[in-house]
Amino acid sequence: MISILEENMFLKLTLAGAALLASVALPATAVNAQTIGFSQIGSESGWRAAETTLTRQQAKDRGIDLKFADAQQKQENQIKALRSFIAQGVDAILLAPVVATGWDQVLEEAKEAEIPVILLDRTVDAPDSLYMTAVTSDLVHEGRVAGEWLAAEVDGKDCKIVELQGTTGSSPAIDRKNGFEQGIADHSNLSIIRSQTGDFTRTKGKEVMESFLKAENGGKDICALYAHNDDMAVGAIQAIKEAGLKPGSDILVVSIDAVPDIFLAMAAGEANATVELTPNMAGPAFDVLEAFAKDGTLPPKWIQTESRLYTAADDPMAVYELKKSLGY
């Protein structure tokens, strides 16, 4: 009842700035027992499943009532879910947008209803006044971390690198390529000699690696492999083994994502390093909402998640078991 009265009061103030409104709204939001709606894209990949699991875990640990909506890869389902969250009067909405465009209308509606929206994992093409913040990883940074690790690992020795790119033209492929190039830019001993797309899949990763090995003197000229995701690296590791070389020592393997299977390879000494694309996007989002509920702190418009580097020193089998339990 109280909240309805206050909402009516706030509706009169919709022309005022969002920040001002938010600070006025503060007493209305209960600090405990928040209800938060989460519109997830769908189950497109193991990573997505892990993100959902972690979001539910985080919500449970914090005593948040999470309303989960699976959009099955359709934007119209997400918009419907958002409208239903607004109608239910949730305290906040987490949105993992399936596409970048077409969100202005429904985000306006959420703003009018005084419900903060936090974007997870992907951003949208809408004015940033329409959402509270976006929690995403920095794809360029991920590539840079991988490049810097390799530069440190080879320690001044000459190293010819082959690169397995993601799907040509996709933003992870472009950004992870650029980031890696930045990471090795200051090291003239490192050079990328071949770069080809493996479409983010194991099969193509293996096939392309086979051609790299043929083209570079049976692989003897290759010092390291950089793959834009772990799945391609897993495929490539098989190709390296079948060519009679030892992945992990004859050819160093560094990749991105940190899916469970790469930790198995790492435990077997066949992969060297992976940069995590954390599935815990909800944790930072809930932190932000808690801070906001407590004293109205508004977060920056972009929160970068940690891109943690894992190597064989990080007890890969333990990480594997942990990751496996998240539903990857």
Partner 1 sequence: MNRLHPALRRILPQLITLVVVLGCNVLVFPDFFKIEMANGRLYGSIIDILNRGAPVALLAIGMTLVIATKGIDLSVGAVMAICGAVAAAAVAGGSDVATAVVLALCAGIVCGLWNGFLVAVLNIQPIVATLILMVAGRGVAQLITEGVILTFTNEGLIFLGSGSLMALPMPFLIWLGFGVLTAILVRKTALGLLIEAVGINLRASTLSGVRGNVLIVAVYAISGLCAATAGIIVAADIKGADANNAGLWLELDAILAVVIGGTSLLGGRFTLAGSLIGAMIIQSINTGILLSGFPPEFNLIIKAFIILVILIIQSPIVQSVLFALRMPPDRSGDDAEPNRDDRADERDHSMQKEGMAP
For partner 1, the binding residues (CB under 8 A) are 43-46, 49, 165, 168-169, 194-197, 199, 201-203, 206-208, 210-212, 214-215, 218, 231, 234-235, 238, 242-244, 261, 328
String of DSSP letters for 230-298: HHHHHHHHHHHHHTT--BTTTBEEEEEE--HHHHHHHHTTS--EEEE--S--HHHHHHHHHHHHHH-PP
Task: For partner 1, give the closer residue by CB, 118 or 239.
Answer: 239
**Least distance from C-beta 230 to partner 1, angstroms?**
10
String of DSSP letters for 59-89: HHHTT-EEEEEE-TT-HHHHHHHHHHHHHHT
**Least distance from C-beta 24 to partner 1, angstroms?**
44
Closest C-alpha among 195, 190, 180 to residue 156: 190
**Least distance from C-beta 96 to partner 1, angstroms?**
16
Which residues make Cβ contacts (< 8 Å) with residue 50, sequence separation at least 6? 279, 323, 326, 327, 328
**Least distance from C-beta 238 to partner 1, angstroms?**
7
Task: For partner 1, give the closer residue by CB, 237 or 293.
Answer: 237
**Least distance from C-beta 266 to partner 1, angstroms?**
15
Task: For partner 1, give the closer residue by CB, 265 or 288.
Answer: 265
Task: For partner 1, give the closer residue by CB, 126 or 162.
Answer: 162
Task: For partner 1, give the closer residue by CB, 37 or 166.
Answer: 166
Task: For partner 1, give the closer residue by CB, 109 or 207.
Answer: 207
**Least distance from C-beta 176 to partner 1, angstroms?**
14
Measured in degrees and rounded to the nearest 5, phi and psi for residue 124 equal -125, 160
The distance of Cα 78 from the centroid of its chain, to the nearest Å, equals: 19
CB 125 within 8 A of CB 100: yes
Q: Are strands 309-311 and 273-276 parallel, antiparallel or unpaired?
A: antiparallel
Is the Cα dihedral 172, 178, 182, 184 positive or negative? positive
**Least distance from C-beta 64 to partner 1, angstroms?**
25
Question: What distance in Å separates the CA atoms of residue 281 and residue 285, rounded to the nearest whole number?
Answer: 7
Task: For partner 1, give the closer residue by CB, 14 or 168.
Answer: 168
